[in-house]
Structure 1
Amino acid sequence: MSDFSPVELLELFQRAQNEFTDRVDAVEPGQWDDEALPGWTVADLVAHLVNEALWVPPLLAGEPVDLIEGRFPDGTDDLLGDDPFTGWETAADGALSAFAEDDALKRTVHLSRGPMPAAEYIFEMTADLTVHAWDLASATHGDTSLDGELVTAALVYAERLPEDGVPGLFEPPLGVPPSASPQTRLLARFGRRG
Structure 2
Amino acid sequence: MDHTDHMRQSIDLAVSVIGGTPVERYGDPSPCAEFTVREVVNHIAFGLVLAQRSATREPWDESWKIEDGAPFLIGVPESEWAARCAEEGEATARAWAEPGVWDGDSHMGGSPMPAAVIGQMMTSEFAVHAWDVAAATGRDLDVPAALGEAVLEGILAVAPMGREGGWFGAEVPVRPDAPAFERAVGASGRDPGWTRG
Q: Is TM > 0.5 for Structure 1 vs Structure 2?
A: yes
Residue 115 of structure 1 is aligned with which of 112, 116, 127? 112
CA contact (8 A) 2:12 2:89 kept: no
Which consecutive residues of structure 1, in runs of 5 or more, have no partner in the other structure?
A: 1-6
- Give the TM-score normalised by structure 2: 0.81
AA of the residue aligned to 1:182: A
| CA root-mean-square deviation | 2.6
User: Structure 1 residues 166 and 112, CA, compared in 2 at 3 Å: closer, same or farther?
Assistant: farther
* 2:24 alignment partner AA: G
Match in the other structure for 2:43:
48
| CA distance, structure 2, for counterparts of residue 173 and residue 69 of structure 1 | 33
The residue identity in structure 2 corresponding to 1:127 is S
Match of 2:182 in 1: 184
Which one has more relative contact order, counting CA pairs under 8 Å at least 6 apart? 2
Letter in 2 for 1:51: F
Name structure 2 gaps, 5 residues minimum.
193-197
Q: Can you list the C-alpha shifts for 1:112-165, whole angstroms capped at 9, x where unaligned?
A: 694221122111111111111111100011123422221111112223235473
Q: 1:46-97 deviations in whole A, cap 9, x for unaligned?
A: 1111111113333334355xx4232478236972622011121122122122
For the residue of structure 1 that corresponds to 2:102, the secondary structure is helix
Paired residue total? 186
The aligned runs of 1:156-171 (5 Å cut-off) are 156-163=153-160, 165-171=163-169
How do 1:70-89 residues align onto structure 2 when only pairs under 5 Å count? 70-71=63-64, 74-75=68-69, 79=73, 81-82=76-77, 83-89=80-86
Matched residue type, 1:26? G
Amino acid at match of 1:70: S
The answer to whether the Cα contact below 8 Å between 1:17 and 1:92 also exists between their aligned partners in 2 is: yes
Q: Which runs of 4+ in 1 moved over 6 A?
A: none
For 1:106 and 1:54, locate their aligned partners in 2 and report how far apart those are by CA, in whole Å.
Answer: 19
For 1:28-53, what per-residue CA distance to the aligned partner results, in whole angstroms no more than 9, with x for missing partners?
Answer: 23101111233322121111111111
